[in-house]
Amino acid sequence: MLGLSPTTNVSSNPLQTDSSANYEIRFNPSRAYSALRSLSNSCNNVDIRVEASLTLAKAHMRSVSACPEATREARMFGVKILSNAFTMCGSSLNSTLRGLVTAGREVAGIYETGGMGMSVSLEESVRWMGRCAGLGDVESMCDYALCLEMGHGVKEPDLKKAFDWYLRAAAAEGDGEDEEEFLEARGEARFSVGEYYETGKGGNPVDHSRAVMWYKRGADDGDEDCEVGLRRLADIAKIVKGIKGMNVDGVDGVDGVDGVELVN
């Protein structure tokens, strides 16, 4: 991070003093702000522009705690800067941009609860969650999908679109960062995908084979609901296969998927 903070303590920063050279570098908030504005507007390196914009946005958005007289307009300007940063970064999520997702989720939370003196807007909250999802953040994908599924902050529920986001989250690959949180979010997404296939939710055809496949993958991620789903379909398969001549669409294909032996 570039490190602009309304509460920067000069004496605590070893980079700002050098006793052996007998000089002191003093922190100048005005110059730091100007430098960040310049970097965010004109630097050729997109990652640096995004970092500068993110730092500026945080300074504005959090000014309410460091500077009580800060206006709502100042905080709104911070949100605008953050929005520009999202536009600049495109759709590739890497370690440099991870802070962008964190800040975006914070904005979503502010709009949802009306924090920092901002007006409550569920529509804006969901819009920001969607922007974070668009960067490839699995937790944001799941939250955004749930909003679409429940009709939270949108005109009406959209189960098909929700399923698409659950599926994207379920198929995501981790990058080694925050692995536990990643697996938890992906496991939840895999349960949702399995549930859609098991029940025919969102206009999907009932497909127990695919339901089992996703429940198994979610169980591998440690999701307990997926384990319950596997056992439930195993019990259904046993009952159906135990009744001579009975056939239920999709049930015959549930055993032996991805190495899961559901029927004894």
Q: What is the pLDDT of residues 143-163, one digit of tens each?
A: 999 999 999 999 999 999 999
Q: What is the pLDDT of residue 186?
A: 97
Q: What is the pLDDT of residue 178?
A: 82
Q: What is the pLDDT of residue 140?
A: 96
Would you say 54 and 82 are in contact if contact means Cβ atoms under 8 Å apart? Answer: yes
**Residue 260 predicted with pLDDT over 60:** no
Q: How confident is the model at residue 108 (pLDDT cuts 50, 70, 90)?
A: confident
Q: How confident is the model at residue 19 (pLDDT cuts 50, 70, 90)?
A: very low
Best CA proximity match to 150, nearest among 138, 139, 166, 136 = 166
Q: What is the pLDDT of residue 118?
A: 73
Tally Cβ neighbours within 10 Å of residue 218: 27
Q: Mean pLDDT over residues 196-223, rounded?
A: 94
Q: What is the pLDDT of residue 169?
A: 97
Q: How confident is the model at residue 236 (pLDDT cuts 50, 70, 90)?
A: confident
DSSP H helices in the chain? 29-42, 46-61, 63-66, 72-89, 98-113, 122-134, 138-150, 159-170, 179-199, 208-220, 224-241
Q: What is the pLDDT of residue 41?
A: 57
- The rounded distance, in Å, linking the Cα atoms of 63 and 68 is 7
Q: How confident is the model at residue 96 (pLDDT cuts 50, 70, 90)?
A: low
Would you say 234 and 243 are in contact if contact means Cβ atoms under 8 Å apart? Answer: no
Q: Mean pLDDT over residues 170-190, rounded?
A: 91
Instruction: Report if pTM > 0.85.
Output: no
Q: What is the pLDDT of residue 174?
A: 82
Best CA proximity match to 141, nearest among 187, 180, 177, 81 = 187
Best CA proximity match to 46, nearest among 102, 106, 97, 99 = 97
Among 7-21, 54-68, 99-113, 192-206, where is mean pLDDT lowest? 7-21
- The rounded distance, in Å, linking the Cα atoms of 209 and 255 is 8
